[in-house]
Structure 1
Amino acid sequence: MEAKTAGYVLIGLVFWLALLSFHLVRTLKHYQKLTRGSAGQSLNQILDQIITKQDLEAKQISQIQAAIEKQKDVQKSNFQRFSFMRYNPFEDTGGDQSFALAILDGKNNGIVISSLHSRNGTRVYAKEVTAAGPTTHQFSKEEKEVVEKAARHV
């Protein structure tokens, strides 16, 4: 009986040794794969290089994000909202020859250009538009309408 038990123990130990050998070989292959092309560097050196590279890339990402935010602020000062309306300001003149054009930036500052066409001629007006409030010039009904329409444009 003791020989039988010793045989089972021996078979168990051989199985355990085979299992450990399999895991060791797999771990060594994984280690070799990690250190391949590393010019004989240790795993610690490789990991340090990866961490250093990751820190550098994180700084670059932060710089790119800051540049994007700066560009967003610059973009807000570009004209990007427009509205146009043709209308007839005088009942005795036919056709919609007059117009109002609002051109605004991302902060709703800009200009409104209007042209009033009558039998005697055409007059063109340009007025400043500020998001802060009223300017020194009063807007006509049509000018107010195109400014509001342009401000709603996104």
Structure 2
Amino acid sequence: MRAEDSEILYAAIAGIGLLVVVLLIWLAVVSRKLSRLTRQYRAMIGGTGVADLETVISNLQQRTADAAREIERLTGGLSRLEETVRQSAGRIGIVRYNAFADQGSDLSFAIAIVNEERSGVVLSGIHSREETYVYAKPVKGGESAYPLTPEERQAIEQAGLQPAAAAASRHGQR
């Protein structure tokens, strides 16, 4: 064999050796990435009892659709509850006053029990020395078919306020 041919052969062997080293390094990097992906895949699939990703994704889509339907059902129920609460006569306004300036103290009262639309009832108690008279008047939209006294109007207005403001106003009346 000639010297030139042996140099070419050695160069080719060196090139092939270098290529093998580069391929081995590349194989190690790819193997490491594959190992990491396998661990992540197993961690994701692990608790499901299912062997493939497609089934897991399908199950997740089904659960998401079920959750969306449940949210829609609950939202409807919440809307009905909000309407019920809005219509409920749970707002209260109380005004105590002295019906007869020359007798007693603030033993007479007007109590309004209304909903958000200021519809409900107003109760009035007129206290004198011998007896107390109690009157009830229906209220719709803050008005009544019967004449309202200034104290009854004040109680309705107080009840129509926001709950926190009404509570503060009631505490100020005592």
Which bin holds the TM-score, normalised by the shorter protein?
A: 0.7 to 0.9
Matched, 1:91 2:101: yes
1:69 equivalent among 75, 79, 90: 79
Separation of aligned partners in 1, 2:50 and 2:101: 91
Separation of aligned partners in 2, 1:42 and 1:35: 7
* Shift of residue 102, structure 1, vs aligned partner: 0.8
* Shift of residue 38, structure 1, vs aligned partner: 4.3
The answer for the alignment partner of 2:158 in structure 1 is: 149
Q: What one-letter code is carried by the residue in structure 2 that aligns with 1:111?
A: V
The answer for the alignment partner of 2:119 in structure 1 is: 109
* Count of residue pairs brought into register by the alignment: 153
* Shift of residue 8, structure 1, vs aligned partner: 4.2
Q: With structure 2 as the length reference, what TM-score do the two structures score? A: 0.77
* Shift of residue 34, structure 1, vs aligned partner: 2.6
Structure with larger Rg: 2
Q: Which has the higher strand share?
A: 1
Deviations 1:88-134 (A, max 9, x none): 12222221121111111233211110011224532111111111x53
Asked if structure 1 preserves the Cα contact closer than 8 Å seen for 2:91 and 2:116, the reply is yes
Q: With structure 1 as the length reference, what TM-score do the two structures score? A: 0.86
Calculate the aligned-residue CA RMSD, in Å.
2.1
* Shift of residue 33, structure 1, vs aligned partner: 2.4
Deviates more, 1:37-46 or 1:80-89: 37-46
Percent sequence identity is 28
Separation of aligned partners in 2, 1:87 and 1:29: 78
* Shift of residue 40, structure 1, vs aligned partner: 4.9
Q: What one-letter code is carried by the residue in structure 2 that aligns with 1:53?
A: R
Helix, strand or coil at the partner of 1:79:
coil
